[in-house]
Structure formats: structure tokens, C-alpha cells
Amino acid sequence: MADGNSLKDDGLRLFNNGSLNEALEKFTLAAAAFNESGLALDAAEMYNNMGVIHRLDGRLEEAADLIRMARASFASAGDRSREAQALGNLAPLYLKQGNVADAMSAYREAALIFHELNDHDREGEVLIALGLLRFDDGSRAEGIGLYEAGIRLISKPTGRQKRVRVVLNLKKMLLGS
């Protein structure tokens, strides 16, 4: 059987190039190779990747099963960072399934874990996503507050995020809040 790491790298390259079916095939082979080598956490990472592809392709149940399986592996091994990443991948899946409450819960738990790990960039990304969700869900003030908190945590903001920061800083200067 081929090396799990080379299969994973091939899968990531294919995924980044938009070749989802081919990436899924590589991730599936990588998971088998990692399992065969006794590398359960590396296999779980492949399940997470496979779940993301299934979500993008609209196969929501398969995606949920794979990502939940990955999350359980990460949690049982104490790999909090990858557990939080899996939670972050579950949230948009729950949204596609129409389950806003579970999506919010997954985002909140992911943000909390990233906060505990002092991973400010990922915490910020999750808070931005949660803020947008809360805003769209009708909790406008909470959504804006979460979005603002997330924007302030990101170390390398995008151009748009930089502009939002400028507006937030102006608001703070003018209103003292």
C-alpha cells in the first residue's frame, strides 16, 4: 500500500485545485494506509477531509458521519486543536441541514477550544462565522459583537477585514465604545 502521507499530500493538492472526486479517492486511500500503520489520528484527519468533500458535494449524512467520527477520535486522543477544526467543519454542515442550533453550538465550542489553546487566528475565524450566523438569525447586536471580536483577533486580516477594523476603530474613537 502507498504511503499515507504522500496520498494525503496528493489529496490536498487535488482538493486545492478543485478536483474533489480525485481528492476524495486519495484521502480514502490515505485513511486506509494510516489505519494499516496504526496511525489513528492521521486516519481521522482524512475522515475529516473526506467529510468536507462530501459536504461540498451535498452528501450531508456521509459528511456528518465522517466528521463526527474524526471529532470523536481527536477528542479521545486529547487533540483539542483538531477537535475544534472538526467542530468548525460540522457547523456549516449543520446549517446546510437546517439545524441552526447545532451549528451555533459547534461554532461556540470550537471558538472556546481555540481560545483555550491561544489560537487567536482560528478563534477569530470561528467568531466571525458565528457572528454572521447570529446576525442572519436575527440577533443583530450579538452578531456584530461576535464579528467585531473575531476581526480583532485575526493577525493577518484580509483587505475587507482591515477596512472593517478601521470603521470599528473610528466608532470607538467617536463614541468611546
Q: What is the pTM of this model?
A: 0.85
Residues 105 and 123 grouped into a single domain:
no
Total tally of structural domains belonging to the chain: 2
Q: Which structural domain, as residue segments, surrounds residue 106? A: 1-117
**Helices first, then strands: H and E counts in the chain:** 9, 0
Would the pLDDT of 126 be above 90? yes
Task: Dump pLDDT digits (tens) for 38-59.
Answer: 999 999 999 999 999 999 999 9
Q: What is the overall mean pLDDT for the chain?
A: 93
CATH number of the domain encompassing residue 96: 1.25.40.10
Task: Dump pLDDT digits (tens) for 57-89.
Answer: 999 999 999 999 999 999 999 999 999 999 999
Residues 4 and 82 grouped into a single domain:
yes
Domain endpoint, select from 82, 98, 117: 117
Would the pLDDT of 175 be above 80? no
Q: How many CA atoms lie within 13 A of 45 on its CB side?
A: 19
Task: Please say whether the beta carbons of 33 and 7 come within 8 A.
Answer: yes
